[in-house]
Amino acid sequence: MLRNLRAYRNLARGLVLGALGVLLTASLGACGGDDPTPTPKPKAAAPAAPAATATPVPSLLESLYAGAKAEGEVIWATTDTEKRTTQMIAGFEQAYPGVKVKLITGTSADLTERLFLEAQANKVSVDVTDPGRDNRVVDQGLAEDLTDIVEELGVDPTTVYSDNRIWLKVGVPHAPICNTKRLSPSEFPKSYEDLADPRFKGEIVVENRLKGFIYLTNLPEYGDTRPDLWAEDRVVDFLSKVKANDLQAQKGNGTVGDLVASGEVSCALEINLSSFETLRSAGAPIDIVPVKVHSVEPVHHFVPKNSPNPNAAKLFAAFLMGPEGKALWTKVRVTSDLGLVQDTDYAKLVKSKGSKIVAPGTEMNDHFKRLTKVYRTAIGIPTG
């Protein structure tokens, strides 16, 4: 009997503890983490005062800054390197004290696919991010309209797309590179085609996303505007020839650059010149192959709808696409619009080799996924 009593007392204790556990979990859920509901937008302006006492209407940036200060932070999701983001963040925080930039980095695919999930759950966690390599962000109505900023700042219309919802953050040229210690000047390749020569068997690495070749492709939609680019068939033919040289595919431009810089392989079929510059400025014995044309990888940004800090998001977007941001981009050795690509250090470096830089058109968004599959298949990388 006593045992039963004790057992049922323990049962009651267990039930009470369990209930307390549920309550605790619920209260933690209510208190911890982010608020699942979208952050409320700044309150609407109070009804207009009589004309005699009206104060001047603040400019767009001023009102965004006031809202951003109340929000306190902006969350930036980017594919950029820490070297560049650190300087951009410092520049923004100096220009707009009281608004802190929090950073998430990842690949374009990681950032975009996560955003789709977050949008579906109405739990968007980033303020400014990368839209990926296709038009799904715009097609699904996830991008905020930035027309007011574009008009206020007078942003070059050739660098904003999709009704002012996406803007070009940076254009990064790509090129083949080789190790100058492993190859004497006479052995150094002079063209893409040289890299298909059997003497480079086992000596070439390529970044497995092949973006340099995707942007090197001349699309039918371009018409006669980019005659230096390669037709799709030519790219496939070239990649198939290079594959016969036991092409090694690696993830990440940095990894690819390191393999060439260390002398593990002689050449990289293409890497972005930002990674090239990082290595060369550190003393790596590498140089660009003087090919006739260098493609440019455009990196876009947008502000997602229902972002957690809507004012700070637009303010940061304005900073990145405005004159201050452009000046900083140039300082960190990239450029903020494709037109300027021709006047950057990259451009000078490439021109000194007698080459051209050719930027892609936005039409590429409709072909990126397909070309990725075609080109990866050509060098034997499994695709979906």
Q: 10 to 69, contacts with other proteins by CB under 8 A?
A: 10-11, 14-15, 18, 28-30, 32-36
- Rounded least distance, CB 255 to other proteins, Å: 7
The one segment of 43-51, 133-141, 166-174, 221-229 that binds other proteins by CB under 8 A: 133-141
Pick the binder of other proteins from 38, 39, 60, 123 (CB under 8 A): 123
Pick the binder of other proteins from 39, 63, 125, 180 (CB under 8 A): 125
- Rounded least distance, CB 210 to other proteins, Å: 12
- Give dist(CA 24, CA 363) in Å, integer: 53
The residue (of 112 and 162) whose beta carbon lies closer to other proteins is 112
Q: Are 293 and 228 in contact (CB under 8 A)?
A: yes
Site string for other proteins, 135-154 (x = CB under 8 A): -x------------------
Which tokens is 357 given?
A: 């830089």
- Rounded least distance, CB 384 to other proteins, Å: 4
The one segment of 99-107, 170-178, 293-301, 345-353 that binds other proteins by CB under 8 A: 99-107
Pick the binder of other proteins from 162, 278, 309, 336 (CB under 8 A): 278
Residue ranges in 354-373 that form contacts with other proteins under rule CB under 8 A: 369, 372
Counting DSSP H helices and E strands in the chain, the numbers are 15, 10
Pick the binder of other proteins from 119, 138, 219, 293 (CB under 8 A): 119
Q: DSSP labels for 159-219?
A: GEETTTTEEEEEEEEEEEEEETTTS-TTTS--STGGGGSGGGTT-EEEETT-HHHHHTB--
- Give dist(CA 163, CA 186) in Å, integer: 51
Short-list 59, 57, 89, CA closest to 73: 89
The one segment of 45-53, 58-66, 105-113, 159-167 that binds other proteins by CB under 8 A: 105-113
The one segment of 44-52, 56-64, 79-87, 159-167 that binds other proteins by CB under 8 A: 79-87
What are residue 80's DSSP bridge partners? none
Mapping DSSP to helix (H, G, I), strand (E, B) and coil, where does residue 140 land? coil
Pick the binder of other proteins from 20, 23, 24, 121 (CB under 8 A): 121
- Rounded least distance, CB 339 to other proteins, Å: 27
Told to check if 102 binds other proteins by CB under 8 A, we report yes
Buried/exposed code over 350-369 (b: 16+ C-beta within 10 A; e: otherwise)? beeeebebbbbeeebbebbb
Told to check if 318 binds other proteins by CB under 8 A, we report no
Pick the binder of other proteins from 39, 42, 70, 81 (CB under 8 A): 81
The one segment of 145-153, 193-201, 214-222, 278-286 that binds other proteins by CB under 8 A: 278-286
Cβ neighbours around 327 below 10 Å, total:
11
Residue type, 310: P
Size of site (CB under 8 A) for other proteins: 74
Told to check if 254 binds other proteins by CB under 8 A, we report yes
Q: Are 210 and 230 in contact (CB under 8 A)?
A: no
What are residue 103's DSSP bridge partners? 76
Pick the binder of other proteins from 98, 227, 323, 380 (CB under 8 A): 380
The residue (of 207 and 337) whose beta carbon lies closer to other proteins is 207
Non-local CB neighbours of 131 within 8 Å, separated by 6+ positions: 112, 137, 138, 143, 166, 300, 301, 302
- Rounded least distance, CB 300 to other proteins, Å: 14
Residue type, 204: I
Pick the binder of other proteins from 39, 180, 240, 255 (CB under 8 A): 255
Which position has the token pair 């789709």?
Answer: 116
CA dihedral 10, 15, 21, 27 (to 10 degrees): -140
